[in-house]
Amino acid sequence: MMPELRAEARRCLLLTDPFEKTDAVAALAAAYSAGPAAGACTLDADAVLPDSPAIPGRPARPELVAPKLVGRRSMVTPEGRAMLIHALAHIEFNAVNLALDALWRFAGMPAQYYADWLRVASEEATHFRMLAAHLATFGNAYGDFPAHDSLWEMVAKTRGDVVARMALVPRTLEARGLDAIPPLRAKLAQAGDQAAAAILDVILRDEVGHVEIGNRWYGWLCAQRGIDPYATYDELIVRYQAPALRGPFNLEARRRAGFTEAELGRFG
């Protein structure tokens, strides 16, 4: 039998080794792109798949701690920059997992929804690989420093509601990267780490597309359900205790990612 996309995404999500996982995601993206005619991969959007307490699959390291215990990431020293690159790699590894979770968990969506989230998973896997390779130039590997789990906590909270997932993960938490990456890139370039700055250029370019996917499917779901997207978003922020948005905001990147002018006006 040909592999089925959502079941394969769930299998990838359960993998614990980051490099095995990212290899599997790349292979799945290639198989789905080849299509059923090539005998590669099918889609069953309505399949009922079992949840698992082992989701997401993660390595034993890094140690997960409260955000305030992660440690200071100074740009001045190589160790500080290594800690920062490690933190970014951890974000991208979590982003691979969240894209896979969005792909397998929510049944009954249009085929394009699953193709979109497979694209996100594939690009996030590439980001992780790039950062892990750069981290190795410092003599470190993923897992060498503590990390926090804030992003996945919201993924877990929204596992029962695709509207909340689209609202609060890609278009809220991931959208913060659109604001944070440019000043971070400038600091790394100023510190002489041009390789890291170039990686952040790739990540920012791709993240605009990822946030746009979240915005587009959030809007589609609100239209399908006949609910107001702005009032619903405000209600979801409160219900799921999402962190407050704080500027400065990268309004141009957010505009390209599909935020409306009405929303941008709320950011100030």
Query: Taking the alpha carbons of 75, 120, 241, 230 in that order, is the dihedral positive or negative?
Result: positive
pLDDT in tens, 124-143: 999 999 999 999 999 999 99
The model's pTM: 0.96
Q: How many domains does the chain have?
A: 1
- Cβ contacts of 20-24, under 8 Å, gap ≥ 24: 21/57, 21/96, 21/125, 22/96, 22/125, 22/126, 22/128, 22/129
Among the listed residues 101, 221, 99, the one whose alpha carbon sits nearest the alpha carbon of residue 164:
221
Could you tell me if 100 and 120 are in contact, meaning their C-beta atoms sit under 8 angstroms apart? Answer: no
Hey, how many other C-beta atoms are within 10 angstroms of the C-beta on 126? Answer: 18
pLDDT at 200: 98
Written as one letter, the residue type at 30 is A
pLDDT score of 267 more than 80: no
pLDDT, tens digit, 9 for 90 and up, residues 209-255: 999 999 999 999 999 999 999 999 999 999 999 988 888 999 999 99
Q: Beta partners for 64? A: 147
Instruction: pLDDT band for 266, please (50, 70, 90 cuts).
Output: confident
**Domain CATH for 94:** 1.20.1260
pLDDT tens for each residue of 15-67 = 999 999 999 999 999 999 988 767 689 999 999 999 999 999 999 999 999 88
Domain enclosing residue 148, as ranges: 5-267
Looking at 76-157, list the stretches that DSSP marks H as alpha helix, in order from N- to C-terminal side. 78-105, 111-136, 150-157
In the predicted model, is pLDDT for residue 1 greater than 70?
no
Q: Which residues contact 139 (CB under 8 A, 6 or more apart)?
A: 82
How many other β-carbons are positioned within 10 Å of the β-carbon of residue 35? 12
Please report where in the chains the tokens 């503590």 appear, as a residue: 146
CA 16 to mean position of chain CA atoms:
17
